[in-house]
Amino acid sequence: SRREVRGEGWYGAARGPDDLAVVHLAIYGVGNGQDHTLFKLRHPLFSGAQGEECLTRAIEWAMRAAADVRPGSQKLVLFLGEEEREALHCAKEAGFLLEGVVNDYYRLGERCFVLGHTQAGAP
């Protein structure tokens, strides 16, 4: 089984009882913990009229957490199916860029968008 790494977990944001969002942060390629680290954001979910704004905030918090737990540079990636348009918009609002498109990734005939964000490490 995979050991738990500090900083991994769910990050969420809420605005009242109905506007909620969460995203999961996972660390891939732990390495020596001092240099470049790869993080993957997974399972972005939101609800409510202002849920998209909450999701952008949750993504931003996960990005800050990645910077706080690893001193080197960080690469954050997010894979989204083409039906996840709102999550795609939120990730771009948080500073992610579209870095690639993969065909037939989640389902046959569906495109998967690969978004990425690179953060410089502490000096």
Residue 4 has pLDDT above 70, yes or no: no
| SS3 labels along 51-107 | HHHHHHHHHHHHHHHHHHHCCCCEEEEEEEECCCHHHHHHHHHCCCEEEEEEECCCC
Domain covering 9-119 assigned CATH 3.40.630.30 in the classification: yes
Domain ranges of the chain: 9-119
Could you tell me how many residues make up the chain?
123
Q: How many CB atoms lie within 10 A of CB 91?
A: 26
- pTM assigned to the model: 0.85
pLDDT digits (tens, 9 = 90+) for 6-44: 788 898 999 888 889 999 999 887 666 678 889 999 999
From CA 52, how far away is CA 20, in angstroms rounded? 9
Mean pLDDT of 43-51: 90
